[in-house]
Amino acid sequence: MADFNRNFTDEIRERLSIVDVVSRRVPLTKKGQNYWGCCPFHNEKTPSFSVNEDKGFFHCFGCGKHGDIFSFVMETDHIDFVAAMQELANMAGIKLPEKNPRPADVVSREKSLFQICDAAANEYHEKLFSDEGAHALEYVRGRGFSDDMIKKYRIGYAPKKNFIANKFVNEKQENLIATGLCRRGDYGLYDFFRDKLMFPIFNPRGQIVAFSGRSLDGSEPKYINTSDTEIFHKRKTVFGFNFARDAIYRNNRSIVVEGQIDAIKMQVNGFGETVAPLGTALTEDHIALLCKSNRNITFCFDGDNAGQKAAARACGIVMPFLRDNSDVKFAFVSGGKDPDEILRNSGTDAMRKIIDDAVPLVDFLWNLANTNFVISTPGGRVQAEKFLKNELEKITDNDLKSEMIKEYEKRKFENWRKWKRDNNIVNIKIPDVDAVTKNTLVYIVNTYPEMVERHGDFLATLNIDFGGAAAELDLSLNDSEKYIVSLKLQRYMQRLNIQNKELTARLLSGDETAREELSKNSAEIMRTQEKLEQLISL
């Protein structure tokens, strides 16, 4: 093994789950934290062959065989290490490098980078509790961080001056630069992080490999991270994973949130299995790392447009990693809030309800197809079907793919093609909108296609055939926008009024729990009425 660069063997281990490798030869069943099956190295009827996905090894309690993915392939295929490396590299989709032992100077340099990062974290942490870092300490405590939390996550403060460049003056300059902590300017080295609240970034083994600095003066960007280095790659690093590994196994899932503070606050408030991508969008490498620990993932994003787009992208990325034992869900924090704010203002129970109410992937993907395309039109249905087909093609588990195709065919028949079953029914469903409104909307959709992108989810609820002939009207783009928005507000007002009647009935029947709901609902009616009046007056 010494003939290969250790980073390459580590990369194979990160990309490939030992469960996936072993299950190609041995049917496995998960019991507790391990997977079990009948040993391929000796005859047995009672499973005594154990696979631990977290630690990446197998062990047979019958014959004593023990090893990792490399030794498993070597033993089962009766091949040497080089051939096993080649097979595993092919499975991982990466090219086998030339045989290249790690030079002593490379090993020494890597060790030096780890040591510098660890020492810098100590210096930053000490600065946080100095007079110079008082404003940073006040800020982080104001965000609900206790001193124990600050110590556990080794949070610190980077001063405005060249603190690290001066503190580590005896270190080799090229090593300081290689950590990303310092850069070279016209007058020597200068600190990359200045006046920042510092969050150390750990690799899965718990070593500090980089830092994330948060601005304290409101300047943008809010966070800056260490650029990619020899020991740190953003696309492959999941923030908080080193702290979350045990909890992921205990809770049989991981939770993915959008930011570092959210991840920390979730971990210390009973959701220890929470992690976050780091300063970049979610990647295949992030998912591969999480799936090595557990294939059950709950994505928890903000409920705004950005959060919805992030969830849709995560859905597309996770598809190739799905197995029949995967449980992938999507939760959303609404009202412009994030998990940190929910936990501070509403408590753990409110956050737990958001997680518990998460939408399964099969439903989330279906909802995407129905909201992103106008499925009331033939063209919209074709687009939605193509979308579903393209997403399902990403699934590598053929049995699971087949079942999901059947599920969506059933849903399409029941929801998109009702007319096929209703041809002999005499009673016709009363339209959701009157003829004038329908003609106006058909005109708008046909004249201004951009309105479909903006309001497609609402238009799809009206049960209108937008493929029909458009009436000859004279509406500008601005007037069309006002028309649709006013219609949305009117229909929302109708629903609120119906809810008001139901809540009033509950209150009159003695249900005191309806009083607060009724008050909130009435306030929402007033706000909606004001919006509608403002829109009309424009």
CA distance 506 to 457: 32
Vertex 355: Cα angle to 285 and 257 (nearest 5): 35
The domains of the chain, with CATH numbers, are 6-92 (3.90.580.10), 104-232 (3.90.980.10), 237-427 (3.40.1360.10), 435-537 (no CATH)
CA distance 321 to 397: 9
pLDDT at 425: 36
List residues bridging with 106 in a β-sheet: none
Vertex 86: Cα angle to 80 and 89 (nearest 5): 135
**Mean pLDDT score, 474-494:** 85
pLDDT at 93: 77
Q: Which residues contact 215 (CB under 8 A, 6 or more apart)?
A: 195, 196, 221, 222, 223, 224
**Mean pLDDT score, 315-336:** 90
Report yes or no: 210 and 232 within 8 Å, Cβ to Cβ. Answer: yes
Calculate the CA 365 to chain-centre distance.
15
Residue 287, amino acid: I
Cα dihedral 422, 424, 428, 431 sign = positive
Instruction: Kindly compute the dihedral angle of the four CA atoms of residues 443, 448, 451, 453, in this order, to the nearest 10 degrees.
Output: 120
Of 461, 463, 470, 465, the closest CA to residue 439 belongs to 470
**Mean pLDDT score, 471-498:** 84
CA distance 326 to 349: 25
**Mean pLDDT score, 17-37:** 87
With cut-offs at 50, 70 and 90, classify the pLDDT of residue 376. Answer: confident
**Mean pLDDT score, 314-322:** 94
pLDDT at 368: 94
51-60, 399-408, 519-528: which has the highest mean pLDDT? Answer: 399-408
The secondary structure element, H or E, covering residue 158 is strand 156-158
**Helices 450-459 and 477-508: angle between axes, nearest 10 degrees:** 20
pLDDT at 469: 64
As given in the structure block, the two tokens for residue 54 are 């977290």
For 344, the 3-state DSSP assignment is: helix
**Mean pLDDT score, 45-53:** 88
Of 95-109, 281-295, 367-381, give the lowest mean pLDDT range: 95-109
**Mean pLDDT score, 133-142:** 94
Burial class for 75, CB neighbours closer than 10 Å (0-12, 13-18, 19+): middle
pLDDT at 453: 65
- Residues of the chain above pLDDT 70, percent: 91
pTM of the model: 0.63
With cut-offs at 50, 70 and 90, classify the pLDDT of residue 468. Answer: low
pLDDT at 272: 95
pLDDT at 408: 93
Residue 151, amino acid: K
Of 44-58, 155-169, 416-430, give the lowest mean pLDDT range: 416-430
pLDDT at 464 exceeding the cut of 90: no
pLDDT digits (tens, 9 = 90+) for 83-105: 888 888 888 877 776 665 667 77
pLDDT digits (tens, 9 = 90+) for 232-248: 998 889 999 999 987 88
pLDDT top residue among 145 and 452: 145
What are the CA-CA distances from residue 400 to residues 18, 27, 93, 322, 395 (Å)?
20, 16, 22, 8, 8
Q: Which residues contact 255 (CB under 8 A, 6 or more apart)?
A: 266, 271, 273, 274, 275, 297, 298, 299, 300, 355
**Mean pLDDT score, 195-213:** 93
Q: What is the DSSP string of 453-512?
A: HHHHHHHGGG---TTSPPP-----HHHHHHHHHHHHHHHHHHHHHHHHHHHHHHHHTT-T
The three state secondary structure string of 380-423 is HHHHHHHHHHHHHCCCCCHHHHHHHHHHHHHHHHHHCCHHHHCC
Q: What is the DSSP letter of 231?
A: S
